[in-house]
Structure 1
Amino acid sequence: MKFEELQLIEPILRAVQDEGYTNPSPIQEQAIPPALAGRDVLGCAQTGTGKTAAFAIPILQHLTAQKLESGRQRVIRALILTPTRELALQICDSFKAYGHYLRLRTAVIFGGVSQNPQVDELKRGIDILVATPGRLNDLIGQGYIDLQNVETLVLDEADRMLDMGFIHDVEKVITRVPSERQTLFFSATMPDSIMRLCNRILTDPVKVAVTPVSSTVDLIEQALYYVDKTNKRKLLLYLLKNPALVSVLVFTFTKHGADRVVRELEKGGVHAQAIHGNKSQNARQNALNAFKNGDIRVLVATDIAARGIDIDELSHVINYDLPNIPETYVHRIGRTGRAGLGGTAISFCCFDEKESLAEIEKLIGKKIPVVEDHPFPMEIFVQTPKQPRQPRQRIASERGKQLSARKTADGVPTKPGGNRSKPKYSRKG
């Protein structure tokens, strides 16, 4: 099928062609027609399948069909909720790209940065708002956002929003949009909590399921390296000597682990930057831009970026630490092999992570091929004992010990400043 067969208006077709697309992806082919017809859509699709265009194109066409009256203030007519800042920015960029030849305004709001530029853009009037739930509710509470004119509500990466604890913020937003609306709901997984939310907010939805989360993208080549935890850094540097690893996204389990990997890579002569929740929004965006532009070869990330990074032609994903949630593995490796391109996902596994590996292989329904010919094979085959937490002790300084030991002749302790405390006397009547 060609995009021309989806009955799209000429300005959108031209913008899609400018982006280099000729054939819709399966999720786009199945979701765009019912969305154009005004139906609610329930889409189950993992990252990298083209979900953004599946809801952005119908929204742009719908809003263009309803002409804005001359002189009338623009109001928010489409709202897209998404869990992370990075994903919000990318969705906004997609709306601007597909709507390049349309007279529609799109804005994005998220936390972690000053709200003032966002508020200024809202005051100028917009048609489409992309938002993270926390900042959205904050600005609603301050009176800067009114959602009573929303015609289409999109929940993107709904399962991730629930995982990140946004369920109450999402519920608040739903109560503020009109009950008579179109709702487009997309999630990579469909646990019971998601289905209960779907049943409450969707009306007779068209269900679209493409590439279920348990089946990873076929074009992604997967490889597994058994390695001791202490040798992961050496193995990573060893693999990065291969020039075929052109652009590498490395996932670690913790924020401190990401920073530590970056330091070790820099010591080994490999330029890298980290992106995680402790970084400011500007620092995260600068690191992402440097990676996209090829200024750095390696980007090290925690799972906050697993669904928020969209990079064309990413050659490799490396799981430096295996995730303890098997679905997260699928989301991570889905960063490569996008838009029909190939890619490679490499995973390191120490003995402590073998249980997580078993759960991942059960989910994807196959064994990950093991690479045995490497210089750092696993040699530790016992569980690393967890160190007991040591109670914090207050250690007195030598000066403090001396002061506490000193007594005056009348038994009154000396004050820290060295002055003797005056004894208290009671006045006898």
Structure 2
Amino acid sequence: MTDDLLGRHRSVLPDWLALYYEQPIEITHGEGRHVWDSEGNRYLDFFGGILTTMTAHALPEITKAVSEQAGRIVHSSTLYLNRPMVELAERIAKLSGIPDARVFFTTSGTEANDTALLLATTYRRSNTVLAMRNSYHGRSFSSVGITGNRGWSPTSLSPLQTLYVHGGVRTRGPFADLDDHDFVAACVDDLKDLLGHTRPPAALIAEPIQGVGGFTSPPDGLYAAFREVLHERGVLWIADEVQTGWGRTGEHFWGWQAHGRSGPPDMLTFAKGIGNGMSVGGVVARSEIMNCLDSHSISTFGGTQITMAAGLANLTYLLEHDLQGNARRVGGLLIERLRAVAAQVPAVREVRGRGLMIGIELSRPGTDEADPEAASAVLEAAREGGLLIGKGGGHNTSALRIAPPLSLNVAEAEEGAEILDRALRSIR
């Protein structure tokens, strides 16, 4: 059955639509932190549909909210008042930390970042954008144009002039050998030098932890230091929280809060986890930025009632069950367990991350040379052992990405670590 579906997939869908595994699997259903494929195999899910199943599969509180809303009305567009959309916007605006915030809902993180770029370039009357090396912000024409990861940037054409800044990757690049204080200082000096050679940019857009880039991040405080430089020049700061938001990092509700001494960003974008699988994304911005457009705009599917019902139920569950705290506790245990494993595997260059957002970078033993073949082999071995994980990284996709639902318990974390232990040792 799967082989037939694979053939049908290949006959009607694009060749560039990536599939995991030498023998791709069809996931048919899930419960909690587990999913099943069409052959009846059960897997512990450590990737959550690319960090999207944030709380759990088939969570009763969410399925009930979606079912009840579907029985009333599914969709009406933004041309009409929408109570669930207003209620979710009120909660997100308050949680964002941005003063006098306005919220615009989209259907994806790509669309959210595209909207943020529209707002920033309009507000600042500039099409120059600063982005981080190794970054990823989506697959639309404008967001691809600011993506600093070669593997996810299929064209150099763009409506924007993009300038790439140092700092998103701590352990590679010209400043890697510096301590954290000097690393931040060098990146700030580089930013100042860059700004001295270009027309005033609209904004800096940055992921607090780079997602597709392999869960890399700078030292805490880098973006706060950047913000001080940018603020003096009127340049906006956009925090791309599509993967880091909603408490996934454990220590903070938003990734920007690790860099928060200069206050919240001017805008933040979100998506993925808030819908727990439903298509929800959005932008939060200060009112004068959000309201800068001088033409009409709507969103046909952004903020539709059924996705807002899911988002409300999901956010309520997340907060009432302190899943941020769970990510901190269980994620901390999982990271330490994986670091202990990595110490015995020469191919592991680094275990990094926060909370339940963990990266394992692989390289050829004794070198810093990326080893994408080893990453693919571990991905396959983990699946054979009953564990689903992801891949990423800016150096030929040589990092494993681990991001389970935030309700992961200690026993499941230990089970996943044991499977990863065997998978990693299999490549020695």
TM range (shorter): 0.3 to 0.5
Max Rg structure:
1
Select the structure with the greater relative contact order (CA < 8 A; seq sep ≥ 6). Answer: 2
Q: TM-score, normalised by structure 1?
A: 0.34
